[in-house]
């Protein structure tokens, strides 16, 4: 099954063409799963109508979307699904991904792909990683509050029988202290045990850390450690990832399924997300009216394009359709999407991310004086 990765999303952000089709929909892991193929068919039909309206011949529009039509009856495609499905189609691109996010239905045709629903993947303030280490396995999950997906670590973090034996020997020398998996998150503390075994485990964890660097490169996403408490201080010494949280999931994760690890990880990471976002909003409120903030989309669009946006607050859900001319700086807004329009909120998010700005996604009903968008400016 194809999976969208962070680097691929950045590539999608940069693609431009006359007809970029973006389709988003919620899916079901269990329950009434028969709805999902029907929902996809309806969205593809909507996209086809919009392609024709954009000037494509009906036969050409149908051919462009043919790979998606093939999914409607493909039982393999609908196996092992997650909470949401995203598809991106153009004459040169066909990408899709099952992701742990509940998307609202969307079928859009524009001059570039719509990525706003995927901002939680790109920004890191709505998702996190859980690294579960036991005597017999290492598992890495990309999680949200609602779902998770396991990252393939084949060839990245091998765990040998000898490594597992070291864990067992170390555990026998370890003085048991507080915390079990059922008690959720605790703050780990260094304990005394065999220094030689500790050093061997630390060297193994350094190998794990090196293996994760390519996966977590450029990430600003929290990493939650899950494992028996005597391992965490050792892993913390070996770790080089700057966003490993000081709290973790205490206890042996072996035997816990991904949903349970996600649930426990969310309890650890939720206060971190709230604190980070509240600090940014507090700073915004402190400097409002001093020339370094704006909630006017007409000003925010050119500011984002020219790299002036340091922090973006964006309500997920609302759309503002129109155009931006970088040569003149002119912004045109329409009541509904017209030919060659783009979602200008999506535009702002793309350019803020590409200029290494911070993006915080907020609930759809969050507004800044009737505006779904606000920014703090660099200058």
Q: 256 and 169 in one domain?
A: yes
Q: 146 and 98 in one domain?
A: no
* Average pLDDT over all residues of the chain: 84
Strands 342-343 and 358-362: unpaired
Instruction: Tell me the H-state helices in 161-296.
Output: 161-173, 195-216, 232-238, 258-287
Burial of 216 (0-12, 13-18, 19+ CB in 10 A): buried
331 vs 344: CA distance, rounded Å: 9
pLDDT (mean) for 228-240 = 93
**282 within domain boundaries:** no
From 85, 114, 143, the end of a domain falls on 114
From 272, 305, 326, the end of a domain falls on 272
pLDDT (mean) for 323-343 = 89
- Its pTM stands at 0.70
Q: What are the pLDDT digits (tens) for 257-275?
A: 999 999 999 999 999 988 9
Confidence tier at 172 by pLDDT (50, 70, 90): low
Q: 198 and 84 in one domain?
A: no
Residue 186 is predicted with a pLDDT of 45
Residue 72 is predicted with a pLDDT of 81
pLDDT (mean) for 122-128 = 73
Number of independent structural domains in the chain: 3
Q: 268 and 135 in one domain?
A: yes
Provide the percentage of residues in the chain whose pLDDT is more than 70: 85
Q: 64 and 163 in one domain?
A: no
**60 within domain boundaries:** yes
223 vs 108: CA distance, rounded Å: 34
Q: 337 and 365 in one domain?
A: yes
Q: What is the dihedral of CA 343, 344, 348, 350, to 10 degrees?
A: 30
CA dist list (Å): 130 to 175, 239, 247: 26, 14, 12
Confidence tier at 154 by pLDDT (50, 70, 90): confident
Q: 132 and 106 in one domain?
A: no
Confidence tier at 171 by pLDDT (50, 70, 90): low
310 vs 308: CA distance, rounded Å: 6
Q: 266 and 132 in one domain?
A: yes
**280 within domain boundaries:** no
Q: What are the pLDDT digits (tens) for 21-31?
A: 999 999 887 65
CB 316 within 8 A of CB 364: yes
Sign (positive/negative) of CA torsion 105, 107, 113, 114? negative
Residue 180 is predicted with a pLDDT of 43
pLDDT for residue 318 is more than 80: yes
Residue 9 is predicted with a pLDDT of 65
Q: 292 and 227 in one domain?
A: no
Structure tokens at 48: 């086809």
pLDDT (mean) for 335-362 = 88
160 vs 137: CA distance, rounded Å: 9
Q: 150 and 66 in one domain?
A: no
Lowest mean pLDDT among 13-17, 281-285, 293-297: 13-17
Residue 97 is predicted with a pLDDT of 85
Residue 79 is predicted with a pLDDT of 75
**199 within domain boundaries:** yes
CA dist list (Å): 227 to 106, 139, 231, 268: 40, 11, 7, 14
Residue with more model confidence, 153 or 80: 153
CATH number at residue 362: 3.30.1330.30
Sign (positive/negative) of CA torsion 203, 205, 207, 210? negative
Q: What is the dihedral of CA 321, 326, 329, 333, to 10 degrees?
A: -10
Residue 137 is predicted with a pLDDT of 82
Residue 40 is predicted with a pLDDT of 93
230 vs 235: CA distance, rounded Å: 9
98 vs 82: CA distance, rounded Å: 5
Burial of 379 (0-12, 13-18, 19+ CB in 10 A): exposed
**283 within domain boundaries:** no
**353 within domain boundaries:** yes
- Beta carbons within 8 Å of 96's beta carbon, 6+ residues apart: 2, 4, 85, 86, 87, 88
Confidence tier at 176 by pLDDT (50, 70, 90): very low
Q: 253 and 146 in one domain?
A: yes
90 vs 56: CA distance, rounded Å: 12
Residue with more model confidence, 340 or 222: 222
**277 within domain boundaries:** no
CB 262 within 8 A of CB 141: yes
From 226, 247, 272, the end of a domain falls on 272
Q: 220 and 132 in one domain?
A: yes
pLDDT for residue 320 is more than 50: yes
* Structural domain of 10: 6-114
**281 within domain boundaries:** no
Residue 28 is predicted with a pLDDT of 81
pLDDT for residue 283 is more than 90: yes
CATH number at residue 26: 3.30.960.10
pLDDT for residue 173 is more than 70: no
350 vs 332: CA distance, rounded Å: 18
């Amino acid at each position: 099954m194809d999976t969208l990765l962070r680097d691929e999303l950045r590539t999608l952000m940069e693609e431009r063409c006359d007809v970029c089709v973006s389709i988003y929909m919620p899916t079901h892991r269990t329950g009434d799963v028969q709805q999902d193929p029907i929902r996809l068919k309806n969205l593809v039909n909507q996209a086809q109508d919009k392609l024709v309206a954009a000037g494509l011949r009906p036969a050409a529009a149908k051919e462009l979307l043919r790979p998606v039509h093939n999914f409607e009856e493909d039982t393999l495609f609908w196996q092992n699904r997650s909470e949401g499905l995203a598809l991106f189609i153009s004459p040169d691109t066909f990408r899709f991904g099952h992701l742990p996010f509940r998307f609202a239905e969307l079928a859009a045709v524009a001059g570039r792909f719509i990525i706003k629903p995927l901002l939680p993947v790109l920004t890191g303030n709505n998702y996190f990683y859980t690294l579960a280490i036991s005597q017999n396995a290492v598992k890495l999950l990309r999680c949200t509050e609602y779902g998770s997906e396991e990252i393939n670590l084949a060839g990245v973090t091998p765990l040998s029988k000898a490594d597992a034996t070291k864990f067992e020997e170390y555990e026998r020398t370890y003085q048991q202290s507080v915390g079990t998996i059922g008690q959720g998150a605790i703050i780990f503390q260094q304990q005394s045990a065999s220094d030689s075994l500790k050093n061997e485990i630390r060297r193994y964890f350094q190998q794990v850390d090196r293996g994760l660097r390519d996966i977590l490169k450029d990430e600003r996403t929290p990493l939650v450690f899950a494992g028996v408490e005597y391992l965490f201080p050792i892993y913390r010494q070996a770790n080089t990832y700057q966003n490993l949280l000081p709290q973790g999931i205490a206890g042996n994760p072996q035997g816990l399924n991904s949903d349970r690890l996600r649930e426990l990880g969310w309890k650890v990471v939720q206060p971190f997300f709230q604190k980070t976002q509240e600090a940014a909003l507090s700073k915004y409120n402190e400097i409002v009216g001093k020339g370094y903030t704006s909630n006017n989309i007409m000003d925010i669009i050119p500011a984002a394009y020219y790299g002036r946006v340091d922090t973006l607050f964006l309500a997920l859900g609302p759309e503002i359709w129109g155009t931006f001319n970088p040569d003149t700086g002119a912004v045109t807004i329409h009541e509904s999407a017209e030919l060659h329009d783009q979602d200008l909120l999506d535009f702002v998010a793309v350019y803020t991310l590409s200029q290494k700005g911070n993006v915080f996604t907020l609930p759809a009903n969050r507004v800044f004086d009737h505006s779904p968008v606000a920014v703090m400016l660099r200058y």
